Amino acid sequence: MSNQLTDPFGREIEYVRLSVTDRCDLRCHYCMPKGFNDFEEPEDWLSFDEIARVIRAFGELGTRRIRLTGGEPLVRKNLTDLIGQLASLPGIEDLSLSTNATRLAQHASALRRAGISRINASLDTLRADRFKAITQGKLEKVIHGLMTAKQAGFAPIKINMVVMKDINDDEVEDMVEFCLKHDFTLRFIETMPVGDTGRAASDQFISLQTVQQRLEQRYELLPGMMPGGGPARYVQVAGTELRIGFITPMSQHFCETCNRVRLAADGTLYMCLGQDNKYELRPLLRSGISDDELKQHIIKAVNLKPERHEFNEKPGQVIRFMSMTGG
Ligand code: SAM
Ligand code: SF4
């Protein structure tokens, strides 16, 4: 079936990032304030049946790929039941997960059985004291989670590292070596001014062009490709299988290829990570609309997608935290 979701700028929406909770067991300083606890109430979360209904509608309109995210998706109870429901929907070909990996050791095998095909995991440092300072959590749990996921057969696992000046930028080479050793794919991310926390972290912004130049002094980096698309530009380390992606929303935006929208845990569709354009689906779902009406609302929502973010021009624009929309 052809894709019926084209935005006003001619971009086809074939990817939904689905935030299943705004809660998290970590407090990465660039994402959520320390001690933050003002979360959505459970009655405001979409139920699994409501989520599946929305994703079915997206699938019928031409969306093929869903990434579960959060907050931390693995803190939502019985997540594998939802994954099972989504995996059986017509048209949905790819289910993936973004996680902080703290709970991956308990869940990896069940996630794989339920239908998750690919995992991205956040890891900004390999030093336990730094990990604690950045996230308030324990590094060992994350490493154990990653190794368990690898044993469960997930490949490639992608490691996402937010690179921050004077916080962890001295570890980019260590992270390359870590990913080489464990056959992980590595992606560096620039800090974005999303929420007060993201804006505060803007002081630590470092352009990934600088990081790439530094890596080129140590490694031969060849132009690389990564199946699955997405915003990262990839290189491959010569003589190895390691691919390194650079996600540069600040220094080189990639909005013209944006193919995604975000569904928050409370049923709000966000059209852009860096703008406020949104469409509330929960009241509609709970007012008894038909499936055809739901699809018409999704088409209207996609028409609200802005051309691009304005992180550089208007860094104060987005007040919600990244944990609400799942990155
Ligand atoms: N909890 C999961 C995790 O950490 O992977 C999924 C949600 S998290 C919001 C998704 C991604 O957003 C993570 O890779 C995280 O590093 C990134 N992120 C959060 N705040 C950010 C910011 N201000 N700038 C850049 N990336 C950010
Ligand atoms: Fe939690 Fe992910 Fe945000 Fe860190 S980046 S606080 S792990 S949601």
Distance, CA of 190 to CA of 73 (rounded, Å): 22
Nearest CA, atom 12, ligand 1: 327
256, pLDDT greater than 80: yes
**pLDDT digits 0-9 by tens, 143-180:** 999 999 999 999 999 999 999 999 999 999 999 999 99
Which of 88-92, 198-202, 273-277 shows the lowest mean pLDDT across its residues?
198-202
Specify the pLDDT at position 297.
98
Specify the pLDDT at position 1.
56
Q: What is the percentage of the chain residues whose pLDDT exceeds 70? A: 98
226, pLDDT greater than 80: no
Specify the pLDDT at position 269.
97
| Ligand 2, atom nearest to 31 Cα | 3
pTM greater than the 0.85 cutoff: yes
Position 228 confidence tier, pLDDT thresholds 50, 70, 90:
low
Specify the pLDDT at position 229.
57
Average pLDDT of the chain to the nearest whole number: 93
* 124-136 mean pLDDT: 98
* 130-146 mean pLDDT: 98
Domains and CATH numbers, the chain: 15-325 (3.20.20.70)
- Measured in Å, residue 94 CA sits from the centre of ligand 1 at 21
Pocket of ligand 2 (CB under 6 A): 24, 26-28, 31-32, 70-72, 100, 122, 135, 322-323
Pocket of ligand 1 (CB under 6 A): 24, 30-31, 69-70, 72, 98-100, 122, 160, 162, 189, 191-192, 194, 198, 201, 322-323, 326-327
